[in-house]
Chains A and B, each alone.
Chain A
Amino acid sequence: IAGITQAPTSQILAAGRRMTLRCTQDMRHNAMYWYRQDLGLGLRLIHYSNTAGTTGKGEVPDGYSVSRANTDDFPLTLASAVPSQTSVYFCASGASGFSEQFFGPGTRLTVL
């Protein structure tokens, strides 16, 4: 089934630990995005990628890194998690030149 998958679905993490959230799409979209959703703040862009091999910073990039080795995968890494990174994380993708973004099911991350 075409779409975006994210793993894990949820995770509880100790502060200071490293964590990678996985995102894979099978729609061959060039552009991919990571957003975080916090109550009262909506969704905010963390990092994005226009195409494989390129990445860019969004609105709230501090504490996060991404890579885009191929078209399908766009992992988000927290090098040393802090409690303020407790959030729901959404990966999304979109075709170049088209406005619509398709979202994954999200990952709920709790940092204690």
Chain B
Amino acid sequence: AQTVTQSQPEMSVQEAETVTLSCTYDTSESDYYLFWYKQPPSRQMILVIRQEAYKQQNATENRFSVNFQKAAKSFSLKISDSQLGDAAMYFCAYSRRYGGATNKLIFGTGTLLAVQP
């Protein structure tokens, strides 16, 4: 069975600084997706970034980037130039790549990020 582990329950960063959130996963599959979701106090789940396992290049979305290490089964999220609006719970998630069938998400337990002004 696939598992996702986030070992940092809470993190804190100064505004404008850079922070890295860690995530490791376990799977026997070779083709899959990895995600980072953001959940602000509003409770809404927001997709931050997605990585396809077959792509060697790390995904980037504006101030958000990932460090995907497939052999090590590691998928960290780097937030650059942190802003107050980045304060939220961040979830790492995994999905198998069925190629047409249901893509069930497996979530980590989350990292609560605080941004200090």
Shortest beta-carbon contacts, A-B, top 3 = A103-B45, A42-B107, A99-B33
Query: Is A62 close to B, CB under 8 A?
Result: no
Per-residue CB contact flags for chain A residues 14-37 toward chain B (1 = under 8 Å, else 0) read 000000000000000001010100
Interface residues on A, range: 20 to 34
A105 to B43, CA, bound (A): 7
A90 to B107, CA, bound (A): 13
Query: Is A48 close to B, CB under 8 A?
Result: yes
Cβ–Cβ contact A31 & B103, under 8 A: yes
Per-residue CB contact flags for chain A residues 69-95 toward chain B (1 = under 8 Å, else 0) read 000000000000000000010101010
Smallest CB separation, B49 vs chain A (Å) = 11
Cβ–Cβ contact B104 & A33, under 8 A: yes
Query: Is B105 close to A, CB under 8 A?
Result: yes
Residues of A within 8 A of B (CB): 31, 33, 35, 40-45, 48-50, 56, 58, 88, 90, 92, 94, 96-101, 103, 105-106
A92 to B93, CA, bound (A): 14
Interface on chain A toward B: helix, strand, loop, or mixed SS? strand
Q: Which B residues touch A97, using CB under 8 A?
A: 99-100
Per-residue CB contact flags for chain B residues 89-117 toward chain A (1 = under 8 Å, else 0) read 00100010101111111111110000000
**Given contacts A43-B91, A106-B43, is CB(A58)–CB(B104) below 8 Å?**
yes
Q: Which B residues touch A35, using CB under 8 A?
A: 105, 107
Smallest CB separation, A62 vs chain B (Å) = 17
Query: Is B84 close to A, CB under 8 A?
Result: no
A51 to B11, CA, bound (A): 39
Cβ–Cβ contact A42 & B91, under 8 A: yes
Smallest CB separation, B98 vs chain A (Å) = 8
A103 to B33, CA, bound (A): 17
